Amino acid sequence: MKNIKFFLSVFIISLITSSCEDYLNVPPEAAITEDKVFSTYLSFQGFEDQMYQYIVDPNLSTITVGHNLTGETIAKQGWNTSQGASTGNYLNLTSGGGRSNFKFFDDGTGVEKGIWAYSWKGIRRANIALQKLNLLVNATQQEKDQIEGQAYFFRAYFHFELLRAYGSIPYINTVLSADEQLKFPRFYEYKGKYDYQACTEFIVEDLQKAADLLPPSWNNTNTGRVTKGASYALMAKALLYAGSPLMNENSRNSATYDSGYMTRAAEAAGEVLKMVDTNIYDLVTFDKYLEMFAKTDGNIPYSKEIIFQKVRTDVGAGEINNFVGRLYTPNSGLFGGNAICEAVTQNFVDIFEMADGTKYKPGTLAQGGYDYDNTKRWNNRDPRFRKSIYVDGDMAGIHATTRLEMFNGGSTMADGNTLSPYIVHKFWPVGANKKDAQWNTLRVITPLIRLADVYLIYAEAVYNSSNDVNSTATNYSLTALQAINKVRARAGASIVTGLSVYDNNFNNLVKYERDVELCFEGHRWYDLRRWKIKPDATLYRMSFDKNYTTFNRVVIQPFVFTDRNYWLPFPINLTYAYEGFPQNPGW
């Protein structure tokens, strides 16, 4: 028992109690009391502000780390996350020597960060904030509501981050001592729901409280703070996940959609869509699409489409040198990247439809394919294709030498580290490179929830609660098909009127839209898992000459994903701590 207590104390308490000390960051002789920290709005908000720092941006947490874990991109080096995930060895990504958003160490400091450590720290800080609310006396009622609402939001958010990756976990809604942690098993019942769904019920409760307390928007000096809309959007996502096949199965049911959770998810999404009608949110015009992800004018990428994201203060060439250049930018001598470059696979390129809404056809002209057709291979595709991905001949800058040469022997592929001739464009703006040097005011951000995502959540939830594409939520008048077409229309993609292209299955249309609209934003791994769809078993690239006379699909490598990969493995020592916390199957 002593060993168990010691382990839990080291593993969780030492991780998360330190957060309070980090905030104060003062010597003991300063004698700052709890009353001083929690009695005024500004000091209490300062305490809560650390929770915003615990948010993990899928593409910008540390070098060589992204969130493309299903073969949409691949890099050569083993320490890159996409390459590490391709082996199926998630132990290496979570508790071994690999690097990922779930666990990594800040270089040179040994301080553990990432979703696992940061979520527990955030949960601890949220619980402390809620416990100390009675000390907040120098504040208006509105300010007290804002403090309380943010705490409820983040307690829910950080539990959701862990839950959707690892499966059923305890819901920690109090400030714990080491002894108390022995009472919390992984699997339990709450409100008649079990395990994954039981935890979700706690999440939804907290998010409803947050929604009731938080404002629809803040003033301009508080850009990025969580809102009523963010609370409902996260609630919709949490309910959608809880009712999806994998999570429903993890809650002692079958691997099918749960219509009750779908109804609730649609209603939560409907609350967000009501805010479109009151001008709180809106889809950006397509000419401003890429400005949601990166800007070169020094301004934070933010718009009325963004509902929730980590607002980063980083700006300048370091965004290439330390982040995008270590993940998506090729050719260090010209563009500012280095030997690590996650290139887009042919598998993922093939997903993008033609401009008329039909499917891309691989193969030669004789086979009826488009690979040799210069008017169809990379052109006349879904408009989001060229917004998201650079192809051969594209200009990555304004200087003549910044043309991407991705044919066999081309300069962009010359170092042999770029495994496929397609580069992620979404987070790498034209001109942000070493040659053009238009990066002194570069800012990059990954939206965590944006309005397009909510439309797609709404569509999926409405349909799977009713099996009718023309059905609506109980609280909003948009049909499932209309919600999908809202997203497509913004991009200039063809409007869907029938489902024959999608094998008469609306969920195939949902999958397509989520793949394409949200690509490289950290969603696909969660989506394929919750649907219980395994990624392609083999990854391909396109090999072609400078004159476009031959095009061959060449195997890059296998991609391993077995049943155990539906859930991440917990740190092994934690599963030995007490009987109520077993490891996930297969690990």
Query: What proportion of the chain, given as a percentage, has pLDDT over 90?
Result: 81
Going by pLDDT thresholds of 50, 70 and 90, the confidence category of residue 182 is: low
For the entire predicted model, the pTM comes to 0.94
For residue 398, how many other CB atoms are within 10 A of its CB? 12
> Quick one: pLDDT at residue 38?
97
Give the residue carrying structure tokens 């949601």. Answer: 292
> Quick one: pLDDT at residue 334?
84
Give the residue carrying structure tokens 């809604």. Answer: 173
> Quick one: pLDDT at residue 575?
86
Q: CA-to-CA distance for 489 and 482, rounded, in angstroms? A: 10
DSSP state string for 304-357: TTEEEE------STHIIIIIGGGTT---TTTTS--S---EEPHHHHTTSPBTTS
Q: CA-to-CA distance for 398 and 414, rounded, in angstroms? A: 21
> Quick one: pLDDT at residue 199?
98
Tens of pLDDT along 531-545? 999 999 999 999 999
The bridge status of strand 551-558 relative to strand 193-194 is unpaired
Tens of pLDDT along 491-544? 999 999 999 999 999 999 999 999 999 999 999 999 999 999 999 999 999 999
Tens of pLDDT along 192-218? 999 999 999 999 999 999 999 999 999
Q: Which domains does the chain have, with CATH numbers?
A: 1-66+101-192+202-212 (no CATH), 451-566 (1.25.40)
Tens of pLDDT along 19-40? 333 322 333 333 467 888 999 9
pLDDT value at 168 more than 90: yes
> Quick one: pLDDT at residue 106?
57
Phi, psi of 223 (to 5 degrees): -55, 130
Q: What tokens appear for 403 in the block?
A: 């043309």
> Quick one: pLDDT at residue 29?
33
Per-residue pLDDT averaged across 93-107, rounded? 80
> Quick one: pLDDT at residue 2?
30
Q: Are 293 and 405 in contact (CB under 8 A)?
A: no
Q: What tokens appear for 116 in the block?
A: 């696992």
pLDDT value at 576 more than 90: no
Range of weakest confidence among 266-270, 326-330, 334-338: 334-338
> Quick one: pLDDT at residue 132?
97
Q: Are 84 and 99 in contact (CB under 8 A)?
A: yes
Query: Positive or negative, the Cα torsion across 562, 347, 352, 349?
Result: positive
Mean pLDDT of the chain: 91
Q: CA-to-CA distance for 326 and 321, rounded, in angstroms? A: 7
